[in-house]
Amino acid sequence: MKTITLLLVCCIAALASQAQWSYKFSSHDKHFLYTSGQYIVGKCNGGSLGLNYVYNNKLTVSLGYSASNKETCSMPDEYLKSGIEYMPTSGVEPFQNNENIHIMLGRVFSLNKKSSIRFLLQGGPALSTVRAPEYEISGMQYDYQMKSSQKVSLVFNPKIELPLCCMIGFSVGPMIVINDTQQYIGAGIGLMYGIVGRGKS
């Protein structure tokens, strides 16, 4: 929660300050600075927040935070193969969640002549925090404790961006997170706010 709050504060501060220099430093035709949020669905549901900069309508860099949560988490195969139906002692099903702080670089491709619709092919490294259950078996019952670990992951977030006007737009595309223990693929739909482009007009 602290991470989300910190990122939101940074995004709001960036948007508040952009009004002072955006018209001097950036061009509404080529350079864009905006925040983005995505709702992601898949095997795990989650979301992402990011601060994005597009340079010369060709290159992009994004700093962001994403999280996913799996409400029910299966026991390890070594327990499932025994054929015994273990029951949780607390009555609460185990869960798993992941948090990622990432930086992505990529290439921008215009999809129409007006460059009002663009495709971003982007990816990069991430620091992931994985919280997963660690099981303890006692007879026919099991208990668990949540254990946290940090990993280095690769994040890919190719997406299509559609500015509706100079300040607001929508995006759609997959979110892919890969590390040495897991792979996550989800479909995302998002909102952009800031200097996003010229829009459809």
pLDDT value of residue 108: 95
Q: Which of 71-80, 94-103, 105-114, 121-130 has the lowest mean pLDDT?
A: 71-80
Q: 56-60 contacts: CB < 8 A, separation 24 or more?
A: 56/30, 56/31, 57/29, 57/30, 57/31, 57/32, 57/108, 57/110, 57/115, 57/118, 58/107, 58/108, 59/105, 59/106, 59/107, 59/108, 60/104, 60/105, 60/106, 60/107, 60/108, 60/120, 60/122
pLDDT value of residue 10: 54
Contacts of 86 (CB under 8 A, 6+ apart): 75, 79, 137, 140, 141, 142
Question: Domain 2-72+102-127+155-195 class?
Answer: mainly beta
pLDDT value of residue 72: 62
pTM score of the predicted model: 0.75
Q: What is the torsion angle, in degrees rounded to the nearest 10, for the CA atoms of residue 189, residue 196, residue 59 and residue 110?
A: 80
Q: What integer best gives the mean pLDDT of the chain?
A: 79
**pLDDT tops 80 at residue 45:** yes
pLDDT value of residue 20: 46
Local confidence band at 15 (pLDDT 50, 70, 90 cut-offs): low
**pLDDT tens readout for residues 109-119:** 999 887 789 99
